[in-house]
Amino acid sequence: MNLRFAIEGRRLIFRYDAEKLWIEGWGKNSLRVRAAKTAGMPRGMTGGFTEGREERRLDGSGADPEIDGALLPPVEAEDESSIHIGDQGASIRNGKIEARLDRAGNLSVYNSRGELLLKEYVRNRRDRMSENCSALEIEGREFKPIIGGDYTITLRLESLSPNEKIYGMGQYQQSCLNLKGCDLELAQRNSQASVPFALSSLGYGFLWNNPAVGRVVFGKNMTTWTALSAKSLDYWITAGDSPAEIEEAYARAAGRVPMMPAYGMGFWQCKLRYQTQEELLAVAREYRKREIPLSVIVIDFFHWPYQGDWRFDPRYWPDPDAMIAGLKEMGIELMVSVWPTVDRRSENFAEMLESGLLIRTERGYRIGMDFQGNSVHYDATKPEARSFIWEKVKQNYYDKGVRVFWLDEAEPEYSVYDFDHYRYHLGPDLQIGNSYPLFYAKTFFDGMREAGQEQVLNLLRCAWAGSQRYGALVWSGDIHSSFGSLRNQLAAGLNMGMAGIPWWTTDIGGFHGGLVTDPRFHELLIRWFQWGCFCPVMRLHGDREPHKPPMGTEGGASCVSGADNEIWSYSEEVYRICKKYIFLREKLRPYIEGLMKAAHEKGSPVIRPLFYDFPGDKDAWEVEDQYLFGPEFLVAPVLYEGQRERELYLPRLKNGAEFWTDVWTGKQYEGGRRISAAAPLEQIPVFSLGGQIF
């Protein structure tokens, strides 16, 4: 018997020198792998050693991200693991997945058919009888000490197939849907969201359960995961026979979204920014006068006196109670922007500083952002800070009737992204910083649930793995108004869905650079609006040009406002087409409700690549500029200026369906073929499996 191996409870343990490796069943067909060179095995971000299993709630209320990161505690009933130790190594099997360790401790993972899914990239002389024996001395699991601190940790995995495709990983501003060959920063920035769950075409899903700043390279010869500062290696892997099975297993492990409230499924009106109570009410009344359905209207940033006051400025918002009540009478929900920044002039700054509720800096003067004043972010990783913020928000917004919040700056955004400069309650930014948006979402989720609200939905500009269970609707940040940016957002939205974040949206029309009088921008806005109709949330927003001057020099009034951004603000053609798609969105509400129910109950992405529903069609895996809006509609956005027709692929049909139906003409097509579809300015190509006609 190899003395390096042991069984402790349900875990397979391997020890060599200072390293200790744990492998255990963690959900159906899934394993969690952890390794460390500490005195014990750190559990989660805090480095504590607390162990134990408990029942979990998939809505996230039973989870503690300080302990298990993105993962929920496992349910023992799902654990079918069995462990075997022999002379040449050891193995652990849990349903459809098996991990094998050779006698040198090198790890390989197989599916139920015995096919190799993952294998550590090892080139050393630890075992001279192994095929990995090499003078290169490269380890699959590398712990590089940080002098006086923890470790830079690297995991190297063999690239087993040149044809492997990788999806997920969150939101990056690039047009690549298949991430094989990509080099991705594991860090949060404005318009970038690192959500480190990857789905492979080889039949596995992989979660890098580490919130450290780092990098992943999905290379041709190997995949390399790096955490710049960490106490331990921690990842979770699942095997499945279809993308849906893998995605649903991940949703069970990391949590699912709540059921989306009805108002989230309609049309949202927003701009940078309504400056007064009367201006906002006038827009809401105009939608009602024109009999155009409006579900949500938004008060953007700097409606407050100072950042960190978390209240309306009474000079410009004199009666928010009456305003909110009036909107509700019109059937409109109000969403209010909240920032995590605290201006040094804020009425709350001194108390928060004294109480240790603010993010710290490692050197120099403590400033996180210098936009409209020098400010420091609240420390969302600290429970006392989360409670403090929620109490202020509850008193000044929630108790007045606000039920949906815009949690902006969620990365958090810094004026300078020096990740080694900031320190949180749970540790340095380099070590735990990617989890900030998760704790930001948790701040409001916990408070709203405690107040009795079941269907929690809040808009955030960033996410980490597990954010979905805290009601996070993520949007793609301050992006450019261009067709190139539109193409990037399509890839970002699909990969966010595959990374386990089913609630996702964009600023329709883009954020920066849209001139309201420019016909070229009108075309972009129309094409984006059409696509937005078939996104999880349909939200119009942007910083339109030319800007309006500030209304004053103090408080929120000192901030500029963009040009008007209502659907009637552009041209008669823009207005006519946008109005058409708002009514189409209303027509689709029963269908969208079904999609949101599937996201809530199973973790199904609302928008997904063609291969998700047609995994047996090899051609569906090659398509990157179309997607499925749930199981019934195939959508082919118009992604280039001046385009009036486009080529698209209709997957091979299954489940008894005979034809794809063009929703505009009723014409039917057999699957498994490419066609050219008409795309006049007023029309986005959409095909239905159910024969539906618009």
Same domain for 215 and 267?
Answer: no
Could you give the maximum distance between any two Cα atoms of the chain, in Å?
A: 81
| Three-state SS at 145 | strand
Q: Does 55 score more than 60 pLDDT?
A: no
Q: How far apart are CA 142 and CA 140, in angstroms?
A: 6
Residues 442 and 544 in one domain: yes
Amino acid at 46: T
**Helix pair 572-587, 519-533: axis angle to 10 deg:** 0
The torsion angle over the Cα atoms of residues 219, 152, 25 and 27, rounded to 10 degrees, is -70
Q: What is the CATH number of the domain that holds 593?
A: 3.20.20.80
3-state secondary structure of 421: helix
Q: Concatenate the DSSP letters of all residues of 648-672 into one string.
A: EEEPPP-TT---EEETTT--EE-SS
The amino acid occupying position 561 is S
What's the N-to-C CA distance of the chain in angstroms? 68
Residues 500, 157, 30: CA angle, nearest 5 degrees: 45
- pLDDT over 70 percentage in the chain: 96
Query: Do 11 and 142 share a structural domain?
Result: yes
What pLDDT, on a 0 to 100 scale, did the predictor assign at position 57? 57
Domain region containing 619: 609-688
Quick: pLDDT tens for 401-428.
999 999 999 999 999 999 999 999 999 9
Question: β-pairing, 333-338 with 422-424?
Answer: unpaired
Q: Is it the case that residue 186 has pLDDT exceeding 70?
A: yes
Alpha helices in 427-570 (DSSP H): 429-432, 436-450, 483-498, 519-533
Establish if 193 belongs to a structural domain: yes
Residue 194 scores a pLDDT above 50: yes
| 293 and 231 in a common domain | no
pLDDT at 285: 98
In a domain, 594, yes or no: yes
pLDDT at 134: 83
**pLDDT computed for residue 489 by the predictor:** 98
- Please give the pLDDT value at position 53: 45
Task: Assess whether 329 and 404 both reside in one domain.
Answer: yes
pLDDT at 61 over 80: no
Question: What was the pLDDT predicted at 109?
Answer: 98
pLDDT value at 369 more than 90: yes
Domain boundary among 254, 279, 310: 254
Per-residue pLDDT tens for 212-238?
Answer: 999 999 999 999 999 999 999 999 999
- 228 versus 148: the higher-pLDDT residue is 228
What residues are labeled active site? Answer: 408, 411, 478
- Over the stretch 511-521, which tens digit does the pLDDT of each residue have? 998 999 999 99
pLDDT at 51: 45
Closest by Cα among 485, 491, 462, 487 to 186: 462
The four Cα atoms 471, 475, 600, 621 give a dihedral, to 10 degrees, of -150
- Are 149 and 22 part of one and the same domain? yes
Predicted pLDDT of residue 135: 87
H runs (alpha helix) in 316-464 = 320-329, 349-354, 383-396, 429-432, 436-450
Tell me the Cα Rg of the chain. Answer: 26
Torsion of CA 450, 451, 456, 458, to 10 degrees: -100
Distance CA 467, CA 130 (A): 42
Domain endpoint, select from 221, 254, 287: 254
Looking up residue 120, the CATH number of its domain turns out to be 2.60.40.1760
Same domain as 412, residue 277: yes
Cα separation, 618 vs 652, in Å, equals 10
Per-residue pLDDT of 312-331, as tens digits, reads 999 999 999 999 999 999 99
Overall number of domains in the chain = 3
The runs of H, that is alpha helices, within 475-621 are 483-498, 519-533, 572-587, 589-602, 610-613
Check whether residue 320 and residue 406 sit in a common domain. yes
In sequence order, the 6+-apart residues with CB closer than 8 A to the CB of 8 are none
Asked whether residue 88 is domain-assigned, the answer is: yes
Q: How far apart are CA 488 and CA 372, in angstroms?
A: 30
| Separation CA 275–CA 288 (nearest Å) | 20
Whether the predicted pLDDT of 75 surpasses 60:
yes
Predicted pLDDT at 41? 81
For residue range 463-477, list pLDDT tens digits in order. 999 999 999 999 999
- Per-residue pLDDT of 585-640, as tens digits, reads 999 999 999 999 999 999 999 999 999 999 999 999 999 999 999 999 999 999 99
For 256-272, write each residue's pLDDT tens digit: 999 999 999 999 999 99
Q: Name beta bridge partners: 200.
A: 166, 204
pLDDT of residue 56: 52
Residues 285 and 210 in one domain: no
Indicate if the pLDDT at residue 379 is higher than 60.
Answer: yes
Question: Would you state the structure tokens that stand for residue 421, as one six-digit string?
Answer: 């400069």
- In a domain, residue 367? The reply is no
Tell me, yes or no, whether 219 and 323 share the same domain.
Answer: no
pLDDT, position 539: 98
Is residue 535 over pLDDT 70? yes
- What are the beta bridge partners of residue 235? 33, 208
pTM: 0.96
Phi, psi for residue 357 in degrees, rounded to 5: -100, 5
Given a cut of 80, whether residue 132 has pLDDT beyond it is no
Q: Which two tokens stand for residue 178?
A: 């298949």
pLDDT of 47: 61
Q: End of a domain among 254, 288, 305? A: 254
Residue 177 shares a structural domain with residue 312: no
Mean pLDDT, the chain, whole residue set: 95
Structure tokens at 315: 């000079």
Whether residue 109 is found in the same domain as residue 227? yes
Q: Is the pLDDT of residue 667 over 60?
A: yes
Q: Give the pLDDT of residue 44.
A: 67
CA separation, residue 126 to residues 12, 16, 119, 657 (Å): 21, 11, 17, 56
Q: How confident is the model at residue 63, as a pLDDT? A: 76
Report the CATH number at residue 641: 2.60.40.1180
Work out the average pLDDT over 175-198. Answer: 98
pLDDT of residue 58: 59
| Residue 368 maps to a domain | no
Place of tokens 């952890």: 34
